[in-house]
Structure 1
Amino acid sequence: MSLVLTPAHLAAAFDHAAATYPNECCGLIVGRTEGEDWIAERLVPTRNMDTTGRNDRYVLHPQDRLKADEAARADGLAIVGFYHSHPDHGVYFSETDLKNSEEYQMGEPWLPPSYAYLIVSIYDKEPRDHGAFVVREGQSEPLPVRLLPWPEDAS
């Protein structure tokens, strides 16, 4: 089980994080599943609709998600995950991240892991680290990230 990305995908997530710093960025991972792997084909940046005034929260814009889902389906793909940044913090799946996850929102009986959650850590607009997680049985678990070579325009 892993999230499969290219260096261009990861760079796109870090670029998005730098552009929205000091606030969290958020976006969608569009791709396909293969066995137990989530294979990214592209990342789709979305607007952060959080209105709490805090820089450590995100809310995906529903219209951005709908458009990305329609475009993915037209290409025979699906939304397979989500990404967001942790400005000036490390990579971890916070309690807020868990409670806002699709699987947690559905509640019991727990769904099997349905999405990959990529988090990029950025300090003062500089990339620091990345990691991925899944939600299983109402708890987060680390998900290995595999970086594959790919054309640089794959974001």
Structure 2
Amino acid sequence: MFYFLRRQPVVLKYTAEQIETITAHAQQTYPEECCGLLLGQVNRCQQPQVRCLVKVWQTQNAWNLEAAAAMAELTETNQDKMTKIRRYWIDPGEIFQAQRQAREQNLEIIGVYHSHPDQAAVPSESDRAVAWSSYSYIIVSVVQGKAQETRCWCLNEQNQFEAEEMLSLTAQS
């Protein structure tokens, strides 16, 4: 007999300063996609599950021919769209470095952020193909160099993205 655990709702808590850091990074790298990691803590016992963002870890967009080849194996993507303008890749060495520092501070990687230049803040099929179910995914829509919208997503039980609630913390929280 198989039992499937229903994924509990998730809330991402963040500060205005953290979102400003992410949107500034997105605007600085325009027209290319920016990317980075979200370091924080997860309260898995709470309903809904709460992910508290503690640190934004900016990375370089390491998209290259090797990343394009790996992505081509995962999705049927038009090769013309496989540039830093439409794709991002975080170097595994940077992920390892972030993970090591996070553990030293009793944190973990809780998600990934990236931008969508001149596109909506909605995950693409390529985003879904490489997404991990335990992560939050912040996407910033940047239109003509200005951040327009920031949304958060997570994978559901059917491996499809659904909107994740974002809760801004004030200085008193």
TM range (shorter): 0.7 to 0.9
Alignment of 1:1-155 (within 5 A): 1-34=10-43, 35=46, 36-51=49-64, 52-103=82-133, 114-137=134-157, 138-150=159-171
Structure 1 unaligned regions, length at least 5: 104-113
Cα distance, 1:53 vs. partner? 2.8
Cα distance, 1:54 vs. partner? 4.5
Corresponding residue SS for 2:53: strand
Cα distance, 1:102 vs. partner? 2.1
- Mapped contact 1:5–1:148 kept (Cα < 8 A): yes
User: What's the TM-score, normalizing by structure 2?
Assistant: 0.78
* Amino acid corresponding to residue 39 of structure 1 in structure 2: C
For residues 104-141 of structure 1, the C-alpha deviation after alignment (integer angstroms, 9 at most, x for no partner) is: xxxxxxxxxx1111111111221100111111221111
* Amino acid corresponding to residue 122 of structure 2 in structure 1: Y
Corresponding residue SS for 1:102: coil
Determine the structure 2 residue equivalent to 1:107. none
Percent identity at matched positions? 30
Cα distance, 1:93 vs. partner? 1.3
Q: In the comparison of the two structures, how many residue pairs are matched?
A: 141
For residues 53-102 of structure 1, the C-alpha deviation after alignment (integer angstroms, 9 at most, x for no partner) is: 34110111111111111000000000001100011111111111100112
The alignment's C-alpha RMSD in Å is 1.4
- Mapped contact 1:8–1:150 kept (Cα < 8 A): no
